[in-house]
Structure 1
Amino acid sequence: MTDHLTHIWRPIPGGRHAFRPSAIRINHDDQAESYCGTQVVAARLHDSTELDWILEPTCPTCWKILKGDS
């Protein structure tokens, strides 16, 4: 289902970060790493709320990396 995606955005405490699509398929107890290097328990990628999407700012480092400005 996510094979065509190059990245996914997920709000976690501290910001909305970009992750490789494979991050949503790893064991929920494993660590997922965003493009900027932020580490988060994979289970956290699945339990965001609509409010999290609104309140968490986009990570500028992830954004720059994906734009190719890094």
Structure 2
Amino acid sequence: MEAETIEYLRAGVYFVVTIFLIVFLYSYAVSMWRRQERGIRDYEKYGELAVRDDLNDDLIEPRITEKEQR
């Protein structure tokens, strides 16, 4: 392979990977927003973890064990 071909290939792969990461980031943000809107998960509670991080604080979500799922 010539150096010019390798450079074109590298630029193409870089472009494709960049587009893939952008699509992944925006789809993740939209899925988080949809979960927040539907009430499935409250991400504001998770945001308070930086402020309230004592060991005696209440859990954000209750733990569900395998026994309780059955």
TM-score by length of 2: 0.27
Which structure: larger Rg?
2
Q: Of Structure 1 and Structure 2, which has the larger fraction of its residues in strand?
A: 1
Q: Of Structure 1 and Structure 2, which has the larger fraction of its residues in helix?
A: 2
Structure scoring higher RCO (CA < 8 A, sep ≥ 6) equals 1
